[in-house]
Every structure is written in C-alpha cells, then in structure tokens.
Amino acid sequence: MAKLRLKKNVQKILIISIIVILLLVISIKVIINNKKQKEYEQTYEYKLKSIGYNDEDIKTITTKYKDKEINYILKNKKDDAYLLLIKEKYFIYSKFYDYLNYLNSNPTFSFTKIIEKVNTNTNKDYYQDAIQTDISKNYLMLVNKYHYLDASYNPELVTVPLTYAYGTLGSQKVTKDTYDAFINMWKSANEAGYKLIINSSYRTFEEQEKLYNSYLNEGIDVADSKASRPGYSEHQTGYVVDITCNGASNKTFHETETYTWLLDNAYKFGFILRYPQDKVDITGNSYESWHYRYVGIDAATYIHDNNITFEEYYAYFVEAQ
C-alpha cells in the first residue's frame, strides 16, 4: 500500500512540476514578446506606418532623411511632398524647410518649380536678404540680384588689345583666365568666319553707380529695369564680356550668325549666355544676347547641356558643396 501511495505522490509532483515549467516558459515568452513589441513601437518604421506611409515610403524617408527631419515628418500628417521633394534632381538638403514654407504659400506649383525658385532665391523680391558674394569661388562667384560685390572689390585684370575690342586701349579689361579663354574662342570663331568684338567688359563699382544713377531721375523702378544697382552687376567681376560683331547693335545681335555660333560653341571655351530669353524669371535679368560670362569649361558644359542657368548651377554645385 505504502509503495503505491509513494508512486502516486511522485506522479503528482511530476505533473505539477511540468505545469509550473510550462507556465514559466509561457510567461517568459510573453515577457520577451512584449519587450520586442515595445521596442518595435519605438522604431521609425512603426511610427511612420501608423501615420499611413507604406513600406516603400518608409524606405525613402529613413534612407534619405536624417533624424531631425524624420522627427519633423512624424509630427505632421502624411504628406507626399516629403517623398517627392527629395527625389527632385536639384534638392538641397539644407533648404528642406524653405521648400516646405514656399510650397505652403504656393500649393499649385510643381515640386520642380519650388526647388528652382528657392535654390535661386527668386522666391523673394529682388535685392531682399541679399548677401555678399563669396569671392573665394573665383570664376564661379555669383553676382546677381541677391549677391553683391562691395565697392572695395578690385580684381586683377589684363587689358584686351584693340584687335578684339571696341573703345580706346585700356578701356576693356577682364581677368587673365577670361582673357585666355576669350582668345581661344575668338580664334575658333575666326576660323569659322566670324569676328567677335568685345563691346563692354569690366566695370568698377563707381562706374556701375554712375550708370544706375543716370536712370534714377526716371524713378527707382525705371532705374532697376535698366541697370543693376551698384555692386550687383556681374560686369564688376571681370569675368564678363559683352560681345558684338561688325554691323550689329545689342538690339540686333541675336539675329546674327555670330550669335548662333556663340550659342553652339561658347561653352566649349568656358563661356555661357548668361541671361537667356526663357530664363528671365530665374536670372532676374532681361534677355541679353550679347552678355557672356566665363565660368570655366566644366560648369559651362553642364549649364549648356542641361539647359539651366548659372543661378541653378551655383546653388547646387558650388554653394551647397
């Protein structure tokens, strides 16, 4: 009898032990799963998913944005703008919030337009928040309605011989690199049967001031439409040549074959048509078929091949680098 009771007790202990072990295992599993779930709930993936982004969106956001911007995105409702803006060719990371602000006030604009306007400052009025030109960029420096040279800027220049220019000797000056590039271009044009003539080149701050002030008696709007304010003319860089040919004026130069030749070839020597007809809203300058800017062969080739302005090139490839 005693033996049988002992056997039964052993069985009982065994069953209870198994139940206890099973309960323990289940509890541990539940604890681990809870912990895992809590950890998952802390991830960007979980948080973005709960706002409504799909797997592909989440991949885009978490791979292309940094923590600060992801947290900003998380604080807001689901918005495709975050995904589409960063896929734009000329998206500049540091301008993310400026893009969003501008988009907010211009909801009908395309994302390409938003990027273009903000990158080139043309989301602002002319001369608004203008900053001093970064002259350390040398032949890639930008002078326009938002970037100015102060009166003390005094570039090293060489005189253009009268073989290549109108005026009196010494009246036409450019930087050495501009001069060398121009001579190469002049020779190539000459071989093709075209004779380039420099009409205007370097201008001092004081000369620009005189020019601008001469229009001021007609009012500031007229003056602003006819000339750049002192400091804001690219002619003060020494990297500019206004080109003409025999028999043409600024008004008729665009009708000449010389102009067509320049359109097709200037970039090969590092020059760009600085103020094209269809880019007035970006350059802030009216169409000037005669005004060529030296930016070096690499930049000129990119600008020519991609049909963009120097403003767009500068924002993405020079300033943001």
Residues with catalytic roles: 288
- By beta-carbon proximity to Zn ion, the closer residue of 116 and 242 is 242
Residues composing the chain: 321
Joined tokens for residue 2: 């005693």
Which residue is nearest to Zn ion, using beta carbons?
291
For tokens 């589409």, the residue is: 84
Q: Where are the alpha helices (DSSP H) in 217-279?
A: 220-226, 257-265
User: Please, what is the angle between helix 96-105 and helix 111-119, to 10°?
Assistant: 120
In the complex, minimum distance from the CB of residue 243 to Zn ion, in angstroms, rounded to a whole number: 9
Can you spell out the DSSP letters for 23-61?
A: HHHHHHHHHHHHHHHHHHHTSHHHHHHHHT--HHHHHHH
Q: Which residues contact 176 (CB under 8 A, 6 or more apart)?
A: 156, 157, 158
In the complex, minimum distance from the CB of residue 134 to Zn ion, in angstroms, rounded to a whole number: 21
- By beta-carbon proximity to Zn ion, the closer residue of 145 and 291 is 291
Q: Which amino acid is at 238?
A: G
In the complex, minimum distance from the CB of residue 145 to Zn ion, in angstroms, rounded to a whole number: 15
CB contact at 8 A, 154 and 136: no
Backbone angles phi, psi at 148, to 5 degrees: -125, 155
Can you spell out the DSSP letters for 132-143?
A: E--GGGGGG---
In the complex, minimum distance from the CB of residue 203 to Zn ion, in angstroms, rounded to a whole number: 9
- By beta-carbon proximity to Zn ion, the closer residue of 241 and 308 is 241
What CA–CA distance (Å, rounded) separates 99 from 81? 10
- By beta-carbon proximity to Zn ion, the closer residue of 123 and 199 is 199
Binding residues (CB under 5 A) for Zn ion: these are 242, 291
Helix, coil or strand: residue 42? coil
In the complex, minimum distance from the CB of residue 165 to Zn ion, in angstroms, rounded to a whole number: 14
- By beta-carbon proximity to Zn ion, the closer residue of 123 and 244 is 244
